[in-house]
Amino acid sequence: MSAPPTSRAEAQPVETRDELVAYLASGSKPQSDWRIGTEHEKFGYRTNDLSPMPYDNAPGEEGATVKAMLEGMARFGWEPAIEDGNVIAMMGNDQTGGGSITLEPGGQFELSGAPLETLHQTCDEVHTHLAQVATVAGEIGAGFIGLGFAPRRTLEQTPIMPKGRYAIMKRYMPTVGSRGLDMMFRTCTVQVNLDFSSEADMVQKYRIAIALQPIVTALFANSPFVEGKPNGILSNRAAVWLDTDKDRTGMLPFVFEQGFGFEQYTDYALDVPMYFVYRNGAYVDVAGHSFRDFMAGKLTGLEGERPTLDDWESHLTTIFPEARLKRFIEMRGADGGPWRRLCALPAFWVGLLYDGAAQAAAWELVKDWTVEERERLHQQVPITVLKTPFRDRTVLDIARDALTIAQGGLKARARMDGFDGDERGFLAAVETTIDEARTPAEELLAHYEGKWNGNLDRLFAEYSY
């Protein structure tokens, strides 16, 4: 999730739809300016009893808290962002290398990384962040683990963070789907944000991104446990998204229609229901109204008020398709995971999309898939992952083809680490999954049914950062 938006009363109202289209188009940049932005979330817990950390302790209570974690990060140069008197994010600067640390609704700790040139830099950033987190966590009795779904906690056991937008979302989610609260409070992801050079380049990248998200979901499936035991689904995070809010999620079939571009995505986003508007340091609940209503001055409680580009930017962060368009493209299909996989996810997508020949090959791989085929993958992959059938093949076969393309793309980029190594080494975790035909979730289940003897405490002992 985003850090608090700025409240700029002096910002000029948006007068026309064309201004919103131009905002998206302004993300186009030459290939020399393309960057890699990696974001990852993780679950924090108290090491004494593996319970989720509250934001703060009640009077007389002791134990690790989310607030203490945030405040502890200040020693590394991170600067606090305050909402209603509470520290709810830590903002980066030149000392930290940029980026931000933000909170998901249930206290999930997220690093929103800086835009970087190479995967070497991206993985260094991840390593530095996790080392800082481990330092602070070790001092206060906390631990962190990377998974797609909280393996033990119930919704009732999960605290809510003191951010105004989350209270609004919590009220609205149950009205539009059965799993929205699970999405908010019990899931974690890793994603990568990538650039485009033009509208045509955006369109092809976005179509590849949407089509291949189920393949990535399978490769990174890492959430087989719910409330202390397996439930037959290997990516519970992905399964949750199937019934969260159909107005703002899914595979977006219109993206593959002739004429798709910035205008069409703008029209889609204009009609996605809003959650809130940020005014005068507070969130105003406008849940259910569209941004088109806002453009017309018809928001209940804000009658006659018109949006600014800040409002548009904020609204775009509340739309959750499998790949999301802003002034860059966000790849959103992967479960959270261990360190090597936090580096492997951006490596996979950069290899596919940041070299012209690789991008052309990736498009060739998916261009004749039908709407029905893409949706079938989307629905089935959380359960059957690499074994999911596709035509006369399986998702494993498609993943192997995509990996070969990504390897070629990273080789062509030739971004070296100073020791004669290029970026292909960051694909090692994906290579292992494909070579063994076994996802991280299946590895966890094998341990659970074998050496762990059904004791899920061992998961935290062996897989925490």
Tell whether 415 is covered by a domain.
yes
Please check whether residue 305 lies inside any domain of the structure.
no
Nearest to 280 by CA among 257, 296, 301, 253: 301
CATH number at 180 reads 3.30.590.20
For residue 337 the two structure tokens come to: 């995971």
pLDDT tens sequence for the chain (465 residues): 555 565 444 588 999 999 999 999 999 999 999 999 999 999 999 999 999 999 999 999 999 999 999 999 999 999 999 999 999 999 999 999 999 999 999 999 999 999 999 999 999 999 999 999 999 999 999 999 999 999 999 999 999 999 999 999 999 999 999 999 999 999 999 999 999 999 999 999 999 999 999 999 999 999 999 999 999 999 999 999 999 999 999 999 999 999 999 999 999 999 999 999 999 899 999 999 999 999 999 998 899 999 999 999 999 999 999 999 999 999 999 999 999 999 999 999 999 999 999 999 999 999 999 999 999 999 999 999 999 999 999 999 999 999 999 999 999 999 998 787 999 999 999 999 999 999 999 999 999 999 999 999 999 999 999
3-state secondary structure the chain: CCCCCCCCCCCCCCCCHHHHHHHHHCCCCCHHHCCEEEEEEEEEEECCCCCCCCCCCCCCCCCCCHHHHHHHHHHHCCEEEEECCEEEEEECCCCCCCCEEEECCCCCEEEECCCECCHHHHHHHHHHHHHHHHHHHHHHCEEEECCCECCCCCCCCCCCCCCHHHHHHHHHHHHCCCCHHHHHHHECEEEEEECCCCHHHHHHHHHHHHHHHHHHHHHCCCECEECCEECCCCEHHHHHHCCCCCCCEECCHHHHCCCCCHHHHHHHHHHCECCEEEECCEEEECCCCEHHHHHCCCCCCCCCCCCCHHHHHHHHCCCEECEEECCCEEEEEEECCCHHHHHHHHHHHHHHHCCHHHHHHHHHHHCCCCHHHHHHHHHHHHHHHHHCEECCEEHHHHHHHHHHHHHHHHHHHCCCCCCCCCHHHHHHHHHHHHHHCCCHHHHHHHHHHCCCCCCCHHHHHHHEC
How many domains would you assign to the chain?
1
Question: Does any domain span residue 266?
Answer: no
Inside any domain, residue 285:
no
Structural domain boundaries enclosing 435:
36-233+329-463
- Whether residue 243 lies inside any domain: the answer is no
Model confidence pTM above 0.95: yes
- Note the pLDDT of residue 2: 56
Tokens linked to 345: 């996810």
With respect to residue 282, please indicate whether it lies within any of the assigned structural domains.
Answer: no
Q: 24 lies in a domain?
A: no
**How confident is the model at residue 9, as a pLDDT?**
43
Q: Which of 127, 63, 323, 462 is nearest to 55 (CA)?
A: 63
Domain-embedded: residue 389 = yes
